[in-house]
Structure 1
Amino acid sequence: MRKLDLYIGTTVLWSIVAVLLVITGLAVLFAFIDQLGDLEGGYTLKEALIYVALTTPRRLYDVLPMSALIGCLVGLGSLASSSELTVMRAAGVSLTRIVWAVMKPLLLLMALGLVIAEYVAPWSEVQAQARRSLIQAEGKTQSSKHGMWHRQGHEYIHINSVQPDGRLIGVTRYEFDDERQLVRSSFAREARFVDDGQWLLKRVAATRLFERHSEVEQLAEERWNIALTPRLLNTVVMEPDALPISGLWSYGRYLADQGLSAGRYWLAFWEKLLQPVVTGVLVLMAISFIFGPLRSVTLGQRLFTGVVVGFVFRIVQDLLGPASLVFGFAPLVAVLVPAAVCAVIGLWLLRRAG
């Protein structure tokens, strides 16, 4: 029985890996084509290739659930087409054992996905974003394409680029009074985090606004007291779906402490945390299809079904996620509802097949 489990698991696992490489390759190709529109100045074709290469781990992680669904349909479907599953069932192998044989190697793939999401993809994404932002925002007081905005108290801040070493490039600050009147604006070429918990701004050009006049000042250095550490800033500058689970948790709590909306970050947190569950549910549904409506169809029909189901699932997720932010229900619900529906369908079909 152990050899049988190994045979089933290996067949399905290699099919999933093959599909994962194909879908990731397509995602990388489309990303590269998208970057061609941003080629200007120092951002050359070589830099675009480097950026796409560095963002590949995130893209691989994003397509893992769909790849697992389609790969399981292909791998297990090949066993069904050659009547091997029929022979196994006739020999007394239970449906539960076949499901477990498929799920065992998938657990390894899920664990690898979590490692990529928590450690590999965030690091490479920081490198990619920092490199591109530094090149495209060079010499500009404020980059309209890249960088990030942040608010703390009465101060609005734009940062062109956050480097992996914690150094900030191009810091624009707008300070308002209690009546929401602009009282000071400034631009610093660079900022570094110093030991006393403050930032040291360098080469600062500032303008103070008064009721009837303004004053311009040039400063070599200026202290800046703000509750943002380099670690938090590396979180702020990234899109939520590119952040690690721990970063989403810490930044979500930071935004809550500041009285700011953290819905997007909690939604991304639950999506990443529950992705192994979602992947397992999609594979369960794929298994139920093989023993149910897709038992005797062609490989092309199985591929088509997998793509359609995967896209429908992703569309429902993408609709429920923003809906939770607009209508105010818990992001956890938006993540669990599609998975729960798929689990019910899969278990119902397996029960009929059993």
Structure 2
Amino acid sequence: MGKIDRYIGRAILGGTFAVLGVLVGLDALSTIVDEAEDLSDRYGFIDMMSYVGLTLPRRIHEFMPFAALIGALVGLGRLAGSSELVVVRSAGVSIGQLAISVMKPALLAAVVGFVVGDFIAPSSEQLAITQRALAQRSESTVSARHGSWNRDGGTFIHVSAVQRGGVAYGLSLFSFDEDKHLVRSLNAERGTYRGDHWLLEEVVLTQLESEKTTVSQYLTWRWNTQITPDLLVLEVVEPESLPVFKLWPWAKFLEQQGLTATDIELAFWRKVTQPLAIAGLVLVAMSFIFGPLREGSMGARIFAGVIVGVMFRISQDFFGPASVLFGLPPVLAAITPILFCWLAGIWLLNRRT
């Protein structure tokens, strides 16, 4: 089985990474078209291409399950079309043994996706978002279009961009009293983290009192808070682009602040269960080759793979909000679409063999 495993592995990995390149390229091209609308004197073509290039690791991780599905269809379909799978079956290799041979390259693709998504994508995504926000900022402040919100007690914080080394741009702080009345707002052009506090620069402080409003300006301002640069980065970057070992502690921090963390927990479980998702989708692809599409054309197999991938994505997008709406555990929302894939793949294989 060693030679058969390697031969099947090369076919599936070749198809997977070829499809991955196409999917990532198309998605990047779509982003270039969207970003072209924001081109200006400050945000030029080089800035746009740098942003798109830095987001490629995140796209690789995002599209890996669908690439594994279609790649398995392409690789196994090519072997089936040349009757090589027939020869392998005639040599006494069972469907179960073939399934194990197919799962090995699928799990290798899952490992590649995990490494890219956890060790490369978080840093590159944060750098991409920061560079774009800085390039699009106005003369006096950073644009709030791509910023993020956070909370520390009764103070709500908006930050437009965060750089490595603990430097933030475009900070806005809104403080409320126990009756939820706004009592103070603060805007700062820049903030630097000093270990136990932030040093804000070019500060405009507005105090709201019952009878008057006072506006003051300061060159620097000390901001004592539990918010660290790491927490700001977590807010700036989408949960799906964060490393799995940071998602769970962040969810617990948000719960301590009285905020909803369901989306963070959902992203955690989706990352943890992605290898199972890839294996389930590959199992469905294998069931197509030995089942309803065994005599179909390559185009029909690819089309079927696209449909299954879209349905899988729609189910993920459905069960995610459903878990928030009905109060279901996020782990259930992450596992349910994967469970459907496994059950469908096993049922089709048993039904057609």
| TM-score, normalisation: structure 1 | 0.96
Q: Report the secondary structure of 1:219's partner residue.
A: strand
Q: Report the secondary structure of 2:207's partner residue.
A: strand
Matches of 1:137 and 1:158 in 2, distance apart?
15
Matches of 1:251 and 1:280 in 2, distance apart?
28
Q: Where does 1:8-87 land on structure 2 (aligned, <5 Å)? A: 8-87=8-87
- Aligned equivalent of 2:302: 303
Residue 142 of structure 1 and its aligned partner are, at CA, apart by: 6.0
| Residue 350, structure 1, aligned to residue 349, structure 2 | yes
Matches of 1:84 and 1:182 in 2, distance apart?
72
Matches of 1:229 and 1:80 in 2, distance apart?
55
| Residue 204, structure 1, aligned to residue 203, structure 2 | yes
Matches of 1:5 and 1:185 in 2, distance apart?
64
Residue 186 of structure 1 and its aligned partner are, at CA, apart by: 1.4
Q: Report the secondary structure of 2:217's partner residue.
A: strand
Q: Report the secondary structure of 1:29's partner residue.
A: helix
Residue 120 of structure 1 and its aligned partner are, at CA, apart by: 0.3
Matches of 2:180 and 2:139 in 1, distance apart?
30
CA contact (8 A) 2:151 2:257 kept: no
Amino acid at match of 2:135: I
Amino acid at match of 2:63: V
- Aligned equivalent of 2:106: 106
Amino acid at match of 1:227: Q
Give me the identity figure in percent: 44
Residue 139 of structure 1 and its aligned partner are, at CA, apart by: 2.9
Q: Residues 144 and 201 from structure 1, CA distance in 2 versus in 1: closer, same or farther, beyond 3 angstroms?
A: closer
CA contact (8 A) 2:192 2:200 kept: yes
Amino acid at match of 2:35: Q
- Aligned equivalent of 2:225: 226
Structure 1 portions without partners, runs of 5+: none
Q: Report the secondary structure of 1:31's partner residue.
A: helix
Q: Deviations over 1:161-202 (max 9, x none)?
A: 11122201111111121222222111111111113x111112
**Root-mean-square deviation over aligned CA pairs:** 1.3
CA contact (8 A) 2:107 2:278 kept: no
Q: Deviations over 1:10-32 (max 9, x none)?
A: 11111111111111111111111
- Aligned equivalent of 1:136: 136
Q: Residues 222 and 326 from structure 1, CA distance in 2 versus in 1: closer, same or farther, beyond 3 angstroms?
A: same
CA contact (8 A) 1:204 1:218 kept: yes
Q: Report the secondary structure of 1:63's partner residue.
A: helix
- Aligned equivalent of 1:241: 240
CA contact (8 A) 1:19 1:71 kept: yes
| Residue 281, structure 1, aligned to residue 280, structure 2 | yes
Q: Deviations over 1:63-106 (max 9, x none)?
A: 11111101101100111111111111111111111111111122
- Aligned equivalent of 2:329: 330
Amino acid at match of 2:208: L
Residue 60 of structure 1 and its aligned partner are, at CA, apart by: 1.1
Deviates more, 1:100-109 or 1:49-58: 100-109
Q: Report the secondary structure of 1:189's partner residue.
A: strand
Matches of 1:154 and 1:345 in 2, distance apart?
49
Residue 140 of structure 1 and its aligned partner are, at CA, apart by: 4.5
